[in-house]
A and B are shown apart, each in its own frame.
Chain A
Protein backbone atom coordinates (compact mmCIF):
# COMPACT_ATOMS: atom_id res chain seq x y z
CA UNK A 1 0.00 0.00 0.00
CA UNK A 2 1.48 3.34 -0.98
CA UNK A 3 1.44 6.07 1.61
CA UNK A 4 0.66 9.30 -0.19
CA UNK A 5 2.39 11.33 2.48
CA UNK A 6 5.68 9.65 1.65
CA UNK A 7 5.47 10.49 -2.02
CA UNK A 8 3.98 13.98 -1.80
CA UNK A 9 7.33 15.65 -1.99
CA UNK A 10 7.88 19.15 -3.37
CA UNK A 11 9.98 17.79 -6.22
CA UNK A 12 6.88 16.30 -7.84
CA UNK A 13 7.04 17.34 -11.44
CA UNK A 14 5.55 20.73 -12.25
CA UNK A 15 3.46 19.06 -14.94
CA UNK A 16 1.73 17.00 -12.23
CA UNK A 17 1.28 19.99 -9.97
CA UNK A 18 -0.31 22.05 -12.74
CA UNK A 19 -2.59 19.19 -13.66
CA UNK A 20 -3.55 18.79 -10.00
CA UNK A 21 -4.18 22.50 -9.58
CA UNK A 22 -6.26 22.64 -12.75
CA UNK A 23 -8.38 19.65 -11.78
CA UNK A 24 -9.09 21.20 -8.37
CA UNK A 25 -9.96 24.59 -9.86
CA UNK A 26 -12.24 22.91 -12.41
CA UNK A 27 -14.02 20.85 -9.74
CA UNK A 28 -14.62 23.99 -7.72
CA UNK A 29 -16.00 25.86 -10.72
CA UNK A 30 -13.27 28.51 -10.57
CA UNK A 31 -12.11 28.12 -14.18
CA UNK A 32 -13.37 26.38 -17.28
CA UNK A 33 -11.16 24.49 -19.67
CA UNK A 34 -12.30 26.36 -22.77
CA UNK A 35 -11.14 29.70 -21.34
CA UNK A 36 -7.81 28.23 -20.25
CA UNK A 37 -7.24 26.77 -23.70
CA UNK A 38 -8.28 29.94 -25.47
CA UNK A 39 -5.61 31.88 -23.59
CA UNK A 40 -2.95 29.29 -24.38
CA UNK A 41 -3.83 29.14 -28.08
CA UNK A 42 -4.09 32.90 -28.39
CA UNK A 43 -0.59 33.50 -27.08
CA UNK A 44 0.85 30.55 -28.99
CA UNK A 45 -0.60 31.47 -32.34
CA UNK A 46 -2.26 34.86 -32.65
CA UNK A 47 -0.20 37.28 -30.59
CA UNK A 48 3.46 37.85 -31.27
CA UNK A 49 6.16 40.15 -32.66
CA UNK A 50 4.41 40.23 -36.04
CA UNK A 51 1.91 42.60 -34.42
CA UNK A 52 4.58 45.02 -33.26
CA UNK A 53 6.26 44.79 -36.66
CA UNK A 54 3.06 46.09 -38.28
CA UNK A 55 3.01 49.02 -35.87
CA UNK A 56 6.63 49.87 -36.66
CA UNK A 57 6.18 49.53 -40.42
CA UNK A 58 3.14 51.81 -40.32
CA UNK A 59 5.05 54.39 -38.27
CA UNK A 60 7.90 54.30 -40.79
CA UNK A 61 5.46 54.78 -43.68
CA UNK A 62 2.97 57.26 -42.25
CA UNK A 63 4.32 60.38 -40.47
CA UNK A 64 0.96 61.22 -38.93
CA UNK A 65 0.62 57.76 -37.47
CA UNK A 66 4.20 57.96 -36.19
CA UNK A 67 3.44 61.17 -34.37
CA UNK A 68 0.24 59.73 -32.84
CA UNK A 69 2.14 56.59 -31.83
CA UNK A 70 4.78 58.63 -30.00
CA UNK A 71 2.18 60.84 -28.32
CA UNK A 72 -0.36 58.16 -27.39
CA UNK A 73 1.07 54.71 -27.93
CA UNK A 74 -1.87 52.89 -26.35
CA UNK A 75 -4.47 54.44 -28.67
CA UNK A 76 -2.37 54.30 -31.83
CA UNK A 77 -1.54 50.62 -31.24
CA UNK A 78 -5.15 49.78 -30.34
CA UNK A 79 -6.28 51.37 -33.62
CA UNK A 80 -4.57 48.47 -35.40
CA UNK A 81 -6.49 46.01 -33.22
CA UNK A 82 -3.65 45.21 -30.82
CA UNK A 83 -4.89 45.48 -27.25
CA UNK A 84 -5.41 43.34 -24.19
CA UNK A 85 -3.57 42.33 -21.04
CA UNK A 86 -0.19 44.02 -20.58
CA UNK A 87 -0.97 46.55 -23.29
CA UNK A 88 -3.12 48.95 -21.31
CA UNK A 89 -0.44 51.64 -20.91
CA UNK A 90 1.87 51.64 -23.91
CA UNK A 91 4.74 54.06 -24.38
CA UNK A 92 6.70 54.00 -27.63
CA UNK A 93 10.41 54.91 -27.49
CA UNK A 94 11.90 56.30 -30.65
CA UNK A 95 15.43 55.32 -31.61
CA UNK A 96 17.45 57.83 -33.61
CA UNK A 97 21.05 58.29 -34.71
CA UNK A 98 21.73 59.93 -31.35
CA UNK A 99 19.46 58.02 -28.93
CA UNK A 100 19.12 54.27 -28.48
CA UNK A 101 16.50 52.79 -26.15
CA UNK A 102 16.47 49.33 -24.62
CA UNK A 103 13.82 47.75 -22.40
CA UNK A 104 14.04 45.41 -19.42
CA UNK A 105 11.92 44.30 -16.50
CA UNK A 106 14.30 44.10 -13.59
CA UNK A 107 11.83 42.50 -11.16
CA UNK A 108 10.13 39.87 -13.28
CA UNK A 109 9.15 39.78 -16.92
CA UNK A 110 6.74 42.62 -17.74
CA UNK A 111 6.48 42.88 -21.49
CA UNK A 112 4.01 44.39 -23.99
CA UNK A 113 2.05 41.22 -24.84
CA UNK A 114 -0.33 42.64 -27.48
CA UNK A 115 2.52 43.77 -29.72
CA UNK A 116 5.31 41.30 -28.89
CA UNK A 117 3.55 38.25 -27.45
CA UNK A 118 5.04 36.52 -24.43
CA UNK A 119 8.69 37.29 -23.66
CA UNK A 120 11.56 35.08 -24.83
CA UNK A 121 13.62 33.26 -22.22
CA UNK A 122 16.62 35.60 -22.43
CA UNK A 123 14.37 38.52 -21.44
CA UNK A 124 13.29 36.63 -18.31
CA UNK A 125 16.79 35.48 -17.47
CA UNK A 126 18.41 36.89 -14.31
CA UNK A 127 21.58 37.71 -16.26
CA UNK A 128 19.87 39.99 -18.79
CA UNK A 129 17.66 41.59 -16.15
CA UNK A 130 20.54 42.65 -13.95
CA UNK A 131 23.31 43.23 -16.50
CA UNK A 132 21.43 45.43 -18.96
CA UNK A 133 21.03 47.98 -16.16
CA UNK A 134 24.61 47.79 -14.90
CA UNK A 135 26.49 47.49 -18.17
CA UNK A 136 24.06 48.13 -21.02
CA UNK A 137 26.71 48.87 -23.63
CA UNK A 138 28.47 45.60 -22.96
CA UNK A 139 25.20 43.67 -23.15
CA UNK A 140 24.24 45.31 -26.43
CA UNK A 141 27.72 44.64 -27.83
CA UNK A 142 27.16 40.94 -27.10
CA UNK A 143 24.01 41.19 -29.24
CA UNK A 144 26.15 42.66 -32.01
CA UNK A 145 24.84 46.15 -31.39
CA UNK A 146 27.79 48.52 -31.22
CA UNK A 147 26.86 52.07 -30.31
CA UNK A 148 29.17 54.99 -30.89
CA UNK A 149 30.31 56.98 -27.84
CA UNK A 150 28.14 59.90 -28.97
CA UNK A 151 24.95 57.81 -28.86
CA UNK A 152 22.93 58.22 -25.69
CA UNK A 153 21.78 54.84 -24.37
CA UNK A 154 18.57 54.84 -22.32
CA UNK A 155 17.45 51.80 -20.36
CA UNK A 156 13.74 51.60 -19.52
CA UNK A 157 12.55 49.37 -16.67
CA UNK A 158 8.98 48.06 -17.01
CA UNK A 159 8.47 48.06 -13.29
CA UNK A 160 5.31 50.17 -13.18
CA UNK A 161 2.12 49.84 -15.22
CA UNK A 162 3.81 51.12 -18.36
CA UNK A 163 4.88 48.72 -21.12
CA UNK A 164 7.40 49.92 -23.69
CA UNK A 165 7.84 49.30 -27.39
CA UNK A 166 11.00 50.50 -29.11
CA UNK A 167 10.49 52.14 -32.50
CA UNK A 168 13.72 51.19 -34.26
CA UNK A 169 15.41 53.31 -36.89
CA UNK A 170 14.31 52.58 -40.42
CA UNK A 171 17.30 51.04 -42.20
CA UNK A 172 18.75 52.61 -45.34
CA UNK A 173 17.79 51.17 -48.71
CA UNK A 174 14.13 50.64 -47.77
CA UNK A 175 12.70 53.84 -49.26
CA UNK A 176 10.62 52.10 -51.92
CA UNK A 177 9.39 49.26 -49.71
CA UNK A 178 5.71 48.73 -48.86
CA UNK A 179 4.45 48.49 -45.28
CA UNK A 180 4.19 44.73 -45.66
CA UNK A 181 7.75 44.44 -46.90
CA UNK A 182 8.97 46.70 -44.11
CA UNK A 183 7.12 44.69 -41.46
CA UNK A 184 9.00 41.58 -42.58
CA UNK A 185 12.30 43.28 -41.69
CA UNK A 186 11.31 44.19 -38.13
CA UNK A 187 12.40 41.74 -35.44
CA UNK A 188 11.33 41.24 -31.84
CA UNK A 189 14.89 41.96 -30.68
CA UNK A 190 14.82 45.36 -32.40
CA UNK A 191 11.52 46.23 -30.71
CA UNK A 192 13.03 45.42 -27.29
CA UNK A 193 16.08 47.44 -28.29
CA UNK A 194 18.86 44.86 -28.11
CA UNK A 195 19.42 44.99 -31.84
CA UNK A 196 18.87 47.37 -34.74
CA UNK A 197 16.81 46.50 -37.78
CA UNK A 198 19.23 45.27 -40.43
CA UNK A 199 19.15 46.72 -43.92
CA UNK A 200 17.62 44.29 -46.45
Chain B
Protein backbone atom coordinates (compact mmCIF):
# COMPACT_ATOMS: atom_id res chain seq x y z
CA UNK B 1 0.00 0.00 0.00
CA UNK B 2 1.33 3.42 -0.87
CA UNK B 3 1.25 6.01 1.85
CA UNK B 4 -0.63 9.10 0.73
CA UNK B 5 0.82 12.43 1.71
CA UNK B 6 -1.13 14.53 4.16
CA UNK B 7 0.43 17.74 2.96
CA UNK B 8 -2.96 19.29 2.41
CA UNK B 9 -3.42 22.53 0.59
CA UNK B 10 -6.32 24.12 2.42
CA UNK B 11 -6.89 27.17 0.20
CA UNK B 12 -5.52 26.35 -3.22
CA UNK B 13 -6.57 24.16 -6.11
CA UNK B 14 -5.54 21.00 -4.26
CA UNK B 15 -7.84 21.82 -1.34
CA UNK B 16 -9.65 18.81 0.06
CA UNK B 17 -13.19 18.48 -1.15
CA UNK B 18 -15.84 20.11 0.94
CA UNK B 19 -18.98 18.45 2.03
CA UNK B 20 -21.67 20.95 0.99
CA UNK B 21 -19.34 23.86 1.64
CA UNK B 22 -17.70 22.61 4.80
CA UNK B 23 -14.34 20.92 5.27
CA UNK B 24 -14.71 17.39 6.55
CA UNK B 25 -12.02 18.15 9.11
CA UNK B 26 -11.69 21.78 10.18
CA UNK B 27 -8.06 21.23 11.24
CA UNK B 28 -5.59 18.48 10.34
CA UNK B 29 -5.43 17.17 13.91
CA UNK B 30 -9.13 16.34 13.76
CA UNK B 31 -8.44 14.06 10.82
CA UNK B 32 -5.54 12.43 12.70
CA UNK B 33 -7.78 11.78 15.72
CA UNK B 34 -10.43 10.29 13.44
CA UNK B 35 -7.92 8.18 11.47
CA UNK B 36 -6.24 6.88 14.63
CA UNK B 37 -9.57 5.85 16.11
CA UNK B 38 -10.67 4.04 12.97
CA UNK B 39 -7.29 2.32 12.57
CA UNK B 40 -7.50 1.03 16.16
CA UNK B 41 -11.07 -0.17 15.59
CA UNK B 42 -10.12 -1.71 12.24
CA UNK B 43 -7.26 -3.63 13.86
CA UNK B 44 -9.53 -4.87 16.64
CA UNK B 45 -7.46 -3.05 19.29
CA UNK B 46 -10.48 -1.12 20.56
CA UNK B 47 -14.17 -1.54 19.81
CA UNK B 48 -16.20 1.19 18.19
CA UNK B 49 -18.92 0.56 20.76
CA UNK B 50 -16.56 1.34 23.63
CA UNK B 51 -15.31 4.41 21.83
CA UNK B 52 -18.84 5.61 21.11
CA UNK B 53 -19.83 5.14 24.76
CA UNK B 54 -16.85 7.28 25.80
CA UNK B 55 -17.71 9.90 23.18
CA UNK B 56 -21.29 10.10 24.44
CA UNK B 57 -19.93 10.50 27.97
CA UNK B 58 -17.55 13.32 27.00
CA UNK B 59 -20.21 15.18 25.02
CA UNK B 60 -22.67 14.86 27.91
CA UNK B 61 -20.03 16.11 30.35
CA UNK B 62 -19.35 19.17 28.21
CA UNK B 63 -23.06 19.89 27.81
CA UNK B 64 -23.73 19.48 31.53
CA UNK B 65 -21.17 22.15 32.34
CA UNK B 66 -20.08 24.13 29.29
CA UNK B 67 -17.03 26.27 30.09
CA UNK B 68 -18.11 29.93 29.94
CA UNK B 69 -17.49 31.44 26.54
CA UNK B 70 -16.27 28.18 25.00
CA UNK B 71 -17.92 26.94 21.84
CA UNK B 72 -18.72 23.28 21.52
CA UNK B 73 -15.82 21.57 19.77
CA UNK B 74 -16.86 18.12 18.69
CA UNK B 75 -13.38 16.77 17.92
CA UNK B 76 -12.09 17.84 21.33
CA UNK B 77 -14.68 15.48 22.80
CA UNK B 78 -13.65 12.88 20.23
CA UNK B 79 -9.99 13.16 21.25
CA UNK B 80 -10.83 12.99 24.95
CA UNK B 81 -12.88 9.87 24.27
CA UNK B 82 -10.03 8.31 22.32
CA UNK B 83 -7.58 9.07 25.13
CA UNK B 84 -10.05 7.68 27.66
CA UNK B 85 -10.44 4.42 25.73
CA UNK B 86 -6.74 3.93 24.96
CA UNK B 87 -5.87 4.64 28.60
CA UNK B 88 -8.68 2.42 29.87
CA UNK B 89 -7.45 -0.46 27.71
CA UNK B 90 -3.95 -0.01 29.11
CA UNK B 91 -2.51 0.95 25.71
CA UNK B 92 -1.28 4.47 26.45
CA UNK B 93 -1.61 6.18 29.81
CA UNK B 94 -2.75 9.77 30.25
CA UNK B 95 0.64 10.53 31.77
CA UNK B 96 2.44 9.20 28.69
CA UNK B 97 0.37 11.49 26.49
CA UNK B 98 0.95 14.48 28.76
CA UNK B 99 4.69 13.95 28.86
CA UNK B 100 5.04 13.32 25.15
CA UNK B 101 2.89 16.36 24.33
CA UNK B 102 4.96 18.53 26.61
CA UNK B 103 8.16 17.24 25.05
CA UNK B 104 6.79 17.99 21.57
CA UNK B 105 5.82 21.46 22.73
CA UNK B 106 9.47 22.12 23.49
CA UNK B 107 10.97 20.93 20.24
CA UNK B 108 13.31 23.48 18.71
CA UNK B 109 11.14 23.92 15.60
CA UNK B 110 8.13 24.93 17.64
CA UNK B 111 10.06 26.59 20.41
CA UNK B 112 9.47 30.13 21.46
CA UNK B 113 12.97 31.61 21.73
CA UNK B 114 12.27 34.09 24.52
CA UNK B 115 14.54 32.22 26.93
CA UNK B 116 17.41 32.20 24.45
CA UNK B 117 17.17 35.91 23.77
CA UNK B 118 16.89 36.65 27.48
CA UNK B 119 20.27 34.95 27.89
- A interface, CB within 8 angstroms of B: 2, 4, 7-8, 10, 12-25, 28, 30-41, 43-45, 48-49, 85, 107-110, 117-118, 120-121, 124-126, 187-189
The complex places the Cα of A25 from the Cα of B92 at a distance, in Å, of 7
Q: Is the CB of A117 within 8 A of B97?
A: no
The contact sample of 20 A-B pairs, CB cut-off 8 A, is A7-B106, A14-B29, A14-B76, A15-B28, A18-B33, A19-B32, A20-B97, A20-B104, A21-B36, A22-B32, A24-B97, A25-B86, A31-B45, A34-B2, A39-B39, A44-B16, A44-B24, A44-B25, A120-B22, A126-B63
Shortest beta-carbon contacts, A-B, top 5: A20-B100, A15-B29, A36-B35, A40-B35, A8-B102
Q: Count of A-B contacts with CB under 8 A?
A: 159
Please state if B19 and A28 are interface contacts (CB–CB under 8 Å): no
The answer to whether the Cβ of B117 comes within 8 Å of any Cβ in the partner chain is: no
Minimum distance in angstroms from A167 CB to a CB of chain B = 18
* Residues of chain B from 92 to 114 with CB closer than 8 A to chain A in the complex: 92, 96-106
Contact B35 A30 (CB under 8 A): no
Q: Is the CB of A36 within 8 A of B97?
A: no
A49 CA to B36 CA, complexed, in Å: 23
Return B62 CB to nearest CB of chain A, in Å.
8
Chain B interfacial positions (CB closer than 8 Å to A): 1-4, 6, 16-17, 19-20, 22, 24-29, 31-36, 38-43, 45, 48, 52, 55-56, 59-60, 63, 72, 74-76, 79, 82-83, 86, 91-92, 96-106
